[in-house]
Amino acid sequence: MAARVLNVLFLCTGNSCRSVLAEATFNHLAPAGWRAMSAGSQPTGRVHPRTLALLAREGISTAGCHSKSWDKLPVVPDIVITVCASAAGEACPAYLGTALRAHWGVEDPARATGSDAEIEAAFVTAYRILRSRIEAFLALPLAELEGDPARLKAELDRVGTLVP
């Protein structure tokens, strides 16, 4: 499967934190030919500055990172992963199409309150959870799972429960 192109969409509400963290981290770690995008159902129009600063500290490129709507994707994704902490409580749209869907709920660091250190810790926690899940995703035997969408979905759902 590594030789084939794979497009993954990380989807959330505002597309300013979680989905951008996932997009940039996936693109940093993924093999050639695999590409992540991110989008939001109600994009804020800007990437949260703490998101960009955290990615920069981790040595992950933020080139091309911007807040965008889920209805303006450059390509049709093969896999859609929602990262809203509570799909019932946030306006994450159901992606219609043939894409395989999974949910990896992560608390929204943009909603964190408290001291500067506590807010920063919320961003770091979200990043670590997403990175751990992306690493687990990339470690799956995808060539074997490609022909079995139900099993691939089950594995992606399992990955979505991992907490570092």
Among 22, 54, 83, 92, the active-site one is: 92
Among 84, 122, 152, 159, the active-site one is: 84
Among 8, 9, 12, 47, the active-site one is: 12
Instruction: Confirm whether 92 is a catalytic residue.
Output: yes
Q: Which residues contact 17 (CB under 8 A, 6 or more apart)?
A: 47, 48, 50, 51, 108, 109, 110, 123, 126
Following CA atoms 80, 69, 19, 35 in sequence, which dihedral angle do they give, to the nearest 10 degrees?
60
Alpha helices (H) along 30-148: 49-57, 116-139, 142-145
**For residue 18, which phi and psi values (nearest 5 degrees)?**
-55, -55
* Residue indicated by tokens 């807010």: 119
Q: Which residues are catalytic?
A: 12, 84, 92
